[in-house]
A and B are shown apart, each in its own frame.
Chain A
Amino acid sequence: MNNWEYAESIESEKIVKIEKKYGHFINGEFVSPNSKKYLDTISPSSEEVLSSISIGNEKDVDFAVNAAKEGLKQWSKTSPSERSKYLFKLARLIQERSREFAVLESLDGGKPIKESRDFDLPQVAQNFFYYAGWADKIDLAWGSGISKPYGVVGQIIPWNFPLLMLSWKVAPALATGNTVVLKPAETTPLTALLFAELCDEVGLPKGVFNLITGDGTTGSELVNHKDIKKIAFTGSTSVGKYIQKSLAGRDVGLTLELGGKAANIVYNDAALDEAVEGVVNGIFFNQGHVCCAGSRLLVQEDIHDVFINKLEKRMQTLRVGNPLDKNTDIGAINSKDQLDKITDLVNEGVSDGGELFQIECELPKNGFWFKPSLFTGVQANYKIATEEIFGPVLTTLTFRTPDEAVEIANNTEYGLSAGIWTEKGSKILWTADRLDAGVIWANTFNKFDPASPFGGYKESGFGREGGRHGLLSYLKASS
């Protein structure tokens, strides 16, 4: 194939300073864990140990929640315009140190530097900037009847967009007057720990933002803490259901942003080359570790062969490798566990009878990698067509009519996102009206903006993040 030779262009790691060991960030300072237990966080592209982070136990969580309760006293006395200014300052500081954050994100999580630098970090800063401006206008958003904060909010975020998910959670929560205990994912805690330093730097009142690191047991302690008034979770549908069950019968607010198996529908009257780009971006962005990834390609039967041909050709130009190389399109799979899951599902797809295409490329020796993959000849009941793979694997199904496309697209318990490719405007609107999905991209895919609400239908969760609607996730209706 026509793989051009590129000279390496490696972003320097020198800009980041990683401590050997981190405590929790509680009440405005880093503290050693009561548990006295730590776990290593590694770089998934080299398997090198980057640092050790604390594992929060019941007492650590209790300490953090109490700090947030104390912080709430101060934060609720802070005027909305002052709250706004803290968030604006955080946005500015993130912009100033964005290169450092981007390198750290790519090191700890494995995503290509061009994505952490050009996508994650600009979005993070913009998200704080956007919600900063809401802090002193809450009454205008949904009326004075829906304008009260919950109080202490527990937030649990995933490893695919570590700092971006932090910003989606923390910025609206603080803008609406809540205080936060955040738990980042165990494999990607480092940018959140650096963010904690910024909170100290901008002089955010103590206890307003608290960070507790650890694994699933830590998250579970947070969910079950008696003084938490609201839980916001982004992650898998199975964990989301577990959290919903854990909160049964308790007066605790809950928003869930869970899994997806998005259909990316390509009609035969689409601009095919643009659609190919969109489909590639839809599934291979961030190694496919994206809950809203366009993981089911629904292509109209009469253009199947020509489309797949173009798609395979385009896929072959993807560059897999060192996340810190500015040429890299596909970085490392986030963890060994995730790599095993992807591998198992792909193997099952092959044994079920799916036809697998993988690009020809050399994978680095160390670290966790998976070749961009495309399945054709798939039946709708194969696991690869129904289960979220959360990796660089695209599954193709075909349809004959728009009605059939909608039926296949909706034939899933998920309902997070969907894509539509056609040059015909009325068909876009007709299709969009019928898809059970919270975010629909027409003639584009995987676009995000702090002003644009994001969240799912059905078992993809409830509540929205982003935009005016995102405020509702942190406000209570007072009756």
Chain B
Amino acid sequence: MTEVKKTYKHYVDGKFVRSESGKVYAIDLKKEKYEIPLTSKKDLRDAVTSSKAGFAKWNSLTMYNKSQILYRLSEMIEGNKESYIALLQQHGLTKNDSKNDVEDAVNTIIWYAGIVDKWEQLTGNLNPVAGEYFNISHQEPIGVTFSLSSDDISLNSLVKSFLPAMSVGCSVISFTNQNAVLALKLSEDINNSDFPSGSLNILTGNFENIVEDVGAHVEIRLAAIYSNISNDLLETLDVKGSDSVKRIVNLPSDEGLGSIIPFVETKTVWHPKGQ
């Protein structure tokens, strides 16, 4: 019997969609060659529109709820563990490395699921001002985030490129090139984990094609670059981003408290004390 081969599509606004351009690029695995949608400028703009609405939805959920949705993602991956291991092996990893990577990814997701309702207790505080005022600094998510994930063939690297931002309440457009098959497979489990539509969009393609638009789009508040990109690309992103004072984080820390700090804004509220 002929094996049925899956067509991978972008994951935008809770739907599986092709690039509006109709363009694709090839990822050649051991057994199969996949034609992956190549993100166009219009695809990016559509994703930002969705991500803006997704941010409002994701951010309005309680921390407890967000935490459970992230935990749910780890449950989904655990259930499909063997298929991830097989896919990683298709990319050339050994069985053992593939297994370790999937287990690491599950552990990473559980770490972030667990910090969703705690990080603000670590980053915020009352400020002991010299006067009769209640003064508190707390944090809010920056908003729509673009994340370029690392090209390492790794599920763990992939989830590390969107979990820090998601765990504080940002919506994320996760973009990958070489990890495309893995990312688009992951989007199926994301789709089954109760994320509000648009809170996490997954696009694939060539960053060079959209770098100017990522920099210039004012609705993208932050761009996090987890991949080693050329200096020219980084310069283009920075130059375009400077027009809207965009937050651009090159190679952010991918673990611990330091990994989430770039994605929050500190808000300080004062109120006098009195009778």
Contacts and interface: CB of A to CB of B under 8 A. Distances in A.
Q: Does A pair with B?
A: yes
A461 interface: yes
Interface stretch (A94-102, A142-150, A184-192): A142-150
A454 to B, nearest CB: 7
Contact of B270 (A237, A244, A444, A479): A444
A126 B129 CA distance: 11
Nearest to B125: A468
Given A241-B245, A454-B268, A143 B127 contact: no
Interface in B240-269: 241-245, 247, 250, 252-258, 261, 265-269
Overall SS of chain B's interface = mixed
Contact of B131 (A438, A439, A449): A449
A116 B27 CA distance: 66
B68 interface: no
B232 A249 contact: yes
B272 A443 contact: yes
B257 A453 contact: no
B269 A440 contact: yes
Contact of B234 (A244, A249, A447): A249
Overall SS of chain A's interface = mixed
B238 A452 contact: no
A126 B130 contact: yes
Nearest to A248: B238
A109 B271 CA distance: 30
A295 B92 CA distance: 61
B235 interface: yes
B137 interface: yes
Contacts of A248: 234-239, 242
Interface in A174-188: none
A17 to B, nearest CB: 31
Contacts of A457: 265, 267
Contact of B127 (A126, A241, A449, A459): A449
B206 interface: no
Nearest to A429: B269
Interface residues of A, number: 48
A265 interface: no
A42 interface: no
B268 A249 contact: no
Contact of A245 (B232, B242, B256): B242
Contacts of A256: 245
Contacts of B129: 447, 449, 451-452
B231 interface: yes
B142 to A, nearest CB: 8
A247 interface: yes
B245 A237 contact: yes
Contacts of B133: 444, 447, 449
A457 B236 CA distance: 23
Interface residues of B, number: 41
Contacts of A472: 261
B266 A452 contact: no
Contact of A451 (B127, B232, B257): B127
A449 B245 contact: no
A428 B250 CA distance: 37
B211 to A, nearest CB: 12
Given A142-B257, A443-B271, A462-B247, A245 B127 contact: no
A442 B269 contact: yes
B245 to A, nearest CB: 5
A442 B266 CA distance: 17
B268 A453 contact: yes
Central interface residue in A241, A440, A477, by most chain B CB within 10 Å: A477
Given A449-B130, A462-B247, A467 B253 contact: no
Contacts of A442: 269-271
Given A143-B257, A449-B130, A458 B245 contact: yes
B128 interface: yes
A432 interface: yes
A455 interface: yes
Contacts of B267: 432, 437-440, 457
A477 B131 contact: no
A413 B267 CA distance: 17
B178 interface: no
A454 B127 CA distance: 12
B252 to A, nearest CB: 8
A131 to B, nearest CB: 14
Given A442-B270, A452-B127, A479-B254, 18 more contacts: A143-B256, A143-B258, A145-B253, A237-B245, A241-B243, A244-B241, A251-B250, A432-B267, A440-B269, A447-B270, A449-B129, A452-B135, A457-B265, A457-B267, A467-B127, A468-B137, A477-B253, A477-B258
Interface of A: 126, 142-143, 145-146, 237, 240-242, 244-245, 247-249, 251, 256, 258, 413, 428, 432, 437-444, 447, 449, 451-455, 457-462, 464, 467-469, 472, 477, 479
29 contacts: A142-B258, A142-B261, A143-B258, A145-B257, A145-B258, A237-B245, A241-B243, A244-B238, A245-B238, A245-B242, A248-B235, A248-B239, A249-B235, A432-B267, A432-B269, A438-B266, A442-B270, A443-B272, A447-B270, A449-B130, A452-B127, A452-B268, A453-B127, A455-B266, A467-B137, A467-B268, A477-B252, A479-B253, A479-B258
Interface of B: 125, 127-131, 133, 135, 137, 221, 231-232, 234-239, 241-245, 247, 250, 252-258, 261, 265-272
Can you list the 10 inter-chain pairs with the closest CB atoms, starting with the nearest? A249-B235, A248-B238, A244-B242, A449-B129, A477-B258, A245-B242, A479-B253, A459-B245, A442-B271, A248-B239
